Amino acid sequence: MASLTAPPPKGTLEVLFVGNATLLIRYGDLTLLTDPNFLHRGQHAHLGYGLVSRRLTEPALDPRDLPAHPNAVVLSHLHGDHWDRIARHHLDRGLPILTTPHASRRLQGLHGFHRAVGLRTWQSDVLVRGGSSVRVTALPARHAGNRLLRGLLPPVMGSLLEFGPTGHEPELRMYVSGDTLMFDGIRAIARHEPEFDLAAVHLGGTTLPGGFLASMDAAQGADLVEALHPRRVLPVHYEDYTVMRSPLADFEAEMRRRGLGDRLIRCGRGQRLRLDASGDVEVAPAPPPRRRERPTGWRARRR
């Protein structure tokens, strides 16, 4: 595959799996970044109320190895393993961030990201860059099943990303689940939206004190795939932090057991996939980034 700065072939979606829920997504002239998490192995993500989780993996990219100007960030929610102190330190304060209303208020008021936009469920925004456009629609998501716990955790959204030439119908439709559990809102997505070309499914079985689940385990992830019927499935958000208790192998086994194994894309951290409208997929390693010293932002004061 070509370098990170060369655009993907026409009509092709390119997704680089950086780690956890961080994806670098490119289509034509557009570059999106999801849930930027650049903490290093051994560092701790702060999840609120004194809860921390240690990172077990290295991100495949340093934020300074990103293309010079990502056009926007799509942020599912404001948690320390999805929006960390390194991202906050290194990303441009003028970068558009499409996220929940809760997160947008905090990003604008506390962190100085004045172009953060809060999308309510089913609300959309359109980004245009040159001859390429993407419509981003906020979709239902639920971070916890327990009503009390939902009140303590930040609101979360899923996302529909519809890519196409500017002024034309979308060529490729990508679903990003966010840290949701399986619930009635997922079935509402199935009724509301046609088939997705690609689904990035947040897994990991994140388990909080008391045994409460805060992201899908293997069974719930397979339930979501059965409900939404995406053509291809990219597992993300697994085995990156100590709170994640459901390994990728369990999800792969569950998908095979249900006859869904042919939908899986095996794209590890640091690899990138290309998908075209015909459904053809290519997976290859990303070019190695330049060697750098560890970013200074990891020592920044938490807010």
User: Smallest Cα–Cα separation from 63: which of 45, 43, 39?
Assistant: 39
74-104: pLDDT as tens digits: 999 999 999 999 999 999 999 999 999 999 9
- Residue 3 is predicted with a pLDDT of 60
Tally of domains within the chain: 1
**Which amino acid is present at 101?**
P
Range(s) of the domain holding residue 67: 12-287
**Has residue 301 got a pLDDT over 70?**
no
Instruction: Report the mean per-residue pLDDT for the chain.
Output: 92
Evaluate whether residue 79 is within a structural domain.
yes
pLDDT at position 148 over 90: no
pTM for this entry: 0.92
Residues 97, 75: contact at Cβ < 8 Å? yes
Give domain status of residue 181, yes or no.
yes
Cα separation, 237 vs 181, whole angstroms:
13
Domain presence at residue 224: yes
- Whether residue 36 is contained in a domain is answered as yes
Domain assignment of residue 70, yes or no: yes
Residue 295 lies inside a defined structural domain of this protein = no
How much is the pLDDT for 292? 52
> How far is the CA of 153 from the CAs of 12, 98, 179, 275, in angstroms?
36, 19, 11, 34
User: Is 298 domain-assigned?
Assistant: no
Backbone angles phi, psi at 60, to 5 degrees: -75, -20
Nearest to residue 108, comparing CAs of 78, 144, 71?
78
Tell me, yes or no, whether 257 lies in a domain: yes
CATH of the domain at 211: 3.60.15.10
